[in-house]
Amino acid sequence: MTFYLIFQLVLIIETGAGLETLFHYNTHYNIAKRFGSHNTYLSLYLVFSVGVYLNKLVKNKKYRLFTLLLIISSVLYIVILASRSQFIALGILLIVSAIIYIFNKRELAKGVIAIFLISGLLFFLMKNVHFLSYRFDKIMEREFNIENIDKRGDKRFYRWKSIYNHIDKNTLFGYGTGDEMENLNTFYQQDNLFSAINKYNAHNEYISTYIRWGWIGLVLLVIFLIYQFSLSIKNKDYLYFVFILIIAHLCLYESIFGVQKGIVFFFFFSSLFLHKYKIQSID
């Protein structure tokens, strides 16, 4: 993506187009489509890559300048992609990293300064980068107070509310793996969320898991995440902890186990981390 950005800048210089061309055609969904992905998932990969680079920056003194440039380019693309959930995830990642640094290095002053600088920078970007600020400005009004009934189905809040109103809250085994969308369509139709029918899943993995497998599935999912959290903390594995943190956070906004780009990403890296500690336990 760094080379892609350089290519775009060169193209703009050669054609004489303004910088607005870069940001008009290469933001949000537009740029994600160029990579054959969704802006939220592409941002997820970049947020994790920031964690990888930070880990590299602290542990390896070689090529620090190059690693820092990779961090900056990744953050730049996260901003350009303008995924609200992953911009928040980036903030969580950076602040948690600063807190971990405080505990490991016992340098409270530097850590607190870093947290304030990170918070200030993210707030500045959120308010002053127009394609990002648009995603956050008037979020309460645009997400929760929609007067046009025909548009309510496009918003998570109204879909979650519909699911909560109609779902069986005491199901032990759920509705079945293949029946999630069918049941969601029934819920949406009962609340006149016609724009959501056959278009939107639950956009929340915890809800999706409950629909598919009931309380048993939801409890197992939470236990699985908590187990990996505890394993990362026990082994003081920063990268593993960051990975599970951003996954648990994304599960609040996306049904990541219902799409290939979520399943492959999670189980690929999760298997690597688990295999790593399985080998260590055998040794």
Mean pLDDT (the chain, rounded): 84
**Within a 10 A sphere around the Cβ of 167, how many other Cβ atoms?**
18
Res 116 pLDDT > 80: yes
> What is the C-alpha to C-alpha distance for residues 117 and 125, in angstroms, rounded to an integer?
12
Please give the residue that has the higher pLDDT: either 197 or 18: 197
- Per-residue pLDDT, 5: 57
- Per-residue pLDDT, 180: 87
- What does 20-49 look like in DSSP terms, one character per residue? HHHHHHSSHHHHHHHTTS-HHHHHHHHHHH
- Per-residue pLDDT, 22: 54
Res 7 pLDDT > 70: no
> What is the C-alpha to C-alpha distance for residues 135 and 75, in angstroms, rounded to an integer?
17
Could you read off the pLDDT of 201-234 as tens digits, one per residue?
999 999 999 999 999 999 999 999 999 999 999 9
CA angle 259, 96, 23 (to 5 degrees): 60
CA angle 197, 200, 203 (to 5 degrees): 145
**Within a 10 A sphere around the Cβ of 237, how many other Cβ atoms?**
17
Confidence of residue 270 (pLDDT cuts 50, 70, 90): very high
Contact call for residues 202 and 211 (beta carbons, < 8 A): yes
Nearest to 200 by CA among 211, 213, 210, 188: 188
Confidence of residue 62 (pLDDT cuts 50, 70, 90): confident
Res 46 pLDDT > 90: yes
The residues near 48 (Cβ < 8 Å, ≥ 6 apart) are: 242, 243, 246, 269
Amino acid in position 44: L
**Hey, which bits of 187-245 come out as E strands?**
none
- Per-residue pLDDT, 280: 66
Q: Which range among 8-12, 101-105, 179-183 shows the weakest confidence by mean pLDDT?
A: 8-12
> What is the C-alpha to C-alpha distance for residues 126 and 83, in angstroms, rounded to an integer?
11
Summarize the chain as % helix, strand, coil (round to 5). Answer: 80, 0, 20
**Within a 10 A sphere around the Cβ of 272, how many other Cβ atoms?**
11
Nearest to 70 by CA among 78, 278, 101: 78
